[in-house]
Amino acid sequence: MFLTCGCSPKLGPVLMQDVKELIGIIMRVLDLAEMTEAEVLDLAFEADGELLTALNDAYIKLLEFVHDCDLRHANPDLDRRERAGLQDALHRIVQFCDADRIDQGCRRATMDAATSAFGSAPALRPSYPPR
């Protein structure tokens, strides 16, 4: 069953379960995990307007992250930059959900995804230790 939330009359309904899955994967990457291409390709989401743009941007960044695995392992600076780009993408998703929400559903879904991934919501700007 999908939870739905209207983030805004102009954005229309969003399948929150899909958004939560995308957020959860980004949160795992920010916690220094690696993802497979299959995990990223399995994602699907629906939205409109700026939120859709933010979700698509995050999806592309995740694919780049997966494809650059060998390069990132050889270059810690590249790894930090790509993870920081995903942090920025996550921040944009949260901003669009917060800015245009009808109720607290989008923010709650974001925090629920973070809590289920980590047991508590991590800070939005973690620092990554050098490898």
List pLDDT tens digits, range 19-72.
888 999 999 999 999 999 999 999 988 888 898 999 999 999 999 999 999 999
pLDDT at position 106 is 57
| Extents of the domains making up the chain | 4-118
Q: What is the pTM of this model?
A: 0.68
- Give me the percent of the chain exceeding a pLDDT of 70: 63
Which of 68, 97, 94, 96 is CA-nearest to residue 83? 68
pLDDT at position 104 is 47
Q: How many CB atoms lie within 10 A of CB 37?
A: 12
> Residue 111 gets which letter from DSSP?
H
- The DSSP result for 45-105, as a single string, is ----HHHHHHHHHHHHHHHHHHHTHHHHHH-HHHHHHHHHHHHHHHHHHHHHHHHT-SSSH
